[in-house]
Amino acid sequence: MGTDPAPIIYSKSNTELVVTFEKFSSKQREELLQSLAQINGLKVLGSCEKLRCFYFSFDPSVYVSEESAFEAIQLKTKNFQPLLKSGTTVQDVERACVK
């Protein structure tokens, strides 16, 4: 009797990413949100205007990593100059935004 390998369980933390937008102003928020809404498998969890960033969760059945999800964001929002904040958690952003 062998044991089956354990299924891969995706916790919330490994399907989240934080992206800053260098060319973003609050006046463009609706335009940026519309662009982000067109990306399959991506959900906006929140944003921090002070840090010019949004944080997302991505569907691991669509994107294998935060880098592949970020590539999809880049394609739809390149005029906002997105930058992936690798290693930054949603909790980090929320704490920094409150200060």
Structure tokens at 8: 């891969």
Q: Would you say residue 36 lies in a domain?
A: yes
Q: Would you say residue 7 lies in a domain?
A: no
Encode pLDDT of 4-43 as tens digits: 454 443 334 588 999 999 887 778 888 899 999 999 999 9
Residue range of the domain that includes 85: 14-98
Torsion angle, alpha carbons of 88, 89, 91, 95, to 10: 10
The domain tally of the chain equals: 1
Q: Would you say residue 55 lies in a domain?
A: yes
CATH number of the domain encompassing residue 52: 3.30.70.100
**CB neighbourhood size of 43 (10 A):** 14
Q: Would you say residue 92 lies in a domain?
A: yes
Q: Using alpha carbons, list the distances in angstroms from residue 93 to 6, 46, 69.
A: 32, 10, 19
pTM listed for this prediction: 0.78
77 pLDDT tier (thresholds 50, 70, 90): very high
